[in-house]
Structure 1
């Protein structure tokens, strides 16, 4: 799944905002209280929350302070070359997933099944643990160990990513040895 754009209306501290994403890694940088964490919550909310929940408290938790109308989120993304727009409207308590060809899904359960299948992450907790790295994870480590800490966070505590990449690079070089140009030694009679 490639995120392209997120549009927020009346969502927490970002009452009217839009964010464009680029393919690959997107790094969000800004001063305190600029909305970095709110953006993370908004992406998770767009992907996992149900605007039709029966709890008024649950529906109201994302509302911008001082605004009467509940939030609305629009997430544009791509999956296997196909573009989609996911809309969650807490005022109407509706969710709509639509593709560019006009096909739509409006039942939260059907939409959620498609999103979960696309992400491979069945819960918002698993999404939080794997799909993004919070500033708090990086603040507690020294600059020299960022690669190791990123590997721990992303890889779930296994091998450090830097070491794994070095090992893979060595393996690839061994496989490619002699495949580019003339080999160093003559192979002898064929």
Structure 2
């Protein structure tokens, strides 16, 4: 991923700033308190901070001139040959991403953050800062006996006592190089007790790489655990819904059973009523017969 330009508005000391970066390593030089570290903070905020949130990391980046206002960050970059734009408006709490090559757009922070993880390989701000930025104090730490690098080289060549003969200077340089390389390529019992600077740096880099790998593995395990948790939560919700449906079905079955019983009882009563009606009908027939018989007896 290559950062092509950076636009800032109301960001710390900058009311408004637009920078176009060359397609190579960028070195920012300037006196103290002129905004070098502010640029790094702006890039980190643009890549990793959620404009909808309010916390100390976000609050301290507000405009020095208008501290009641939040800021706006716009970044244009190239990823895999495609031009992209990322805009974060912390004042309006909005975020927008667009891939100008594919037309893909998004305003979802989590989705955009995951996309940047895939593009740049940066899982968090600390990893980005430790691998993509070199600050002034880190450069200053590259010194011998806490001296500036230029002064250290002068002392190395001149011995700190004025000029020396060319041969002696070469010898001192060779010794210095040997001291720097001391311990490199050795293993087992031959490992130097006091390794040179290069060997020490190589060891530190190796340990940092191992630590980083272990941290990434641990982070992956945590992410996998979260995924499993969300899956289990989804399964739990599905089971809960199934239980609710089962309860409703059971209630329906109970209602149906109750209705069936009521219908059976009603049928029994209907049979009883039908029997009574048949008896009444028989009595009516007998009454009719008696009426007919009485009519025959009337003349007498």
TM-score by length of 1: 0.73
Match of 2:206 among 152, 158, 166: 158
Tell me which stretches of 4 or more aligned residues in structure 1 moved more than 3 Å. 56-59
Is 1:64–2:63 an aligned residue pair?
A: yes
- Please give the alpha-carbon distance, in whole angstroms, between the structure 2 residues aligned to 1:114 and 1:106: 12
Shift of residue 158, structure 1, vs aligned partner: 3.2
Aligned equivalent of 1:74: 74
More strand by share: 1
Aligned equivalent of 1:24: 24
Check the 8 A contact 2:49/2:58 in 1, yes or no. no
More helix by share: 2
User: Secondary structure, in 3 states, of the residue corresponding to 2:123?
Assistant: coil
Change (3 A) 1:157 1:57: closer
Across the aligned residues of Structure 1 and Structure 2, the Cα RMSD in angstroms comes to 2.5
Give unmatched runs, 5+ long, in structure 1: 160-190
Give unmatched runs, 5+ long, in structure 2: 144-148, 154-179, 181-196, 208-300
C-alpha distance after superposition, 1:98-123 (max 9, x if no partner): 12244211100000001111111101
C-alpha distance after superposition, 1:133-185 (max 9, x if no partner): 1110111222369xx78xx59x96239xxxxxxxxxxxxxxxxxxxxxxxxxx
Aligned residues: 154
**Larger relative contact order, structure 1 or 2 (CA cutoff 8 Å, min sep 6):** 1
User: Secondary structure, in 3 states, of the residue corresponding to 2:205?
Assistant: coil
Give the greater-gyration-radius structure (CA): 2
| Counterparts of residues 109-124 of structure 1 (less than 5 Å) | 109-124=110-125
Change (3 A) 1:141 1:119: same
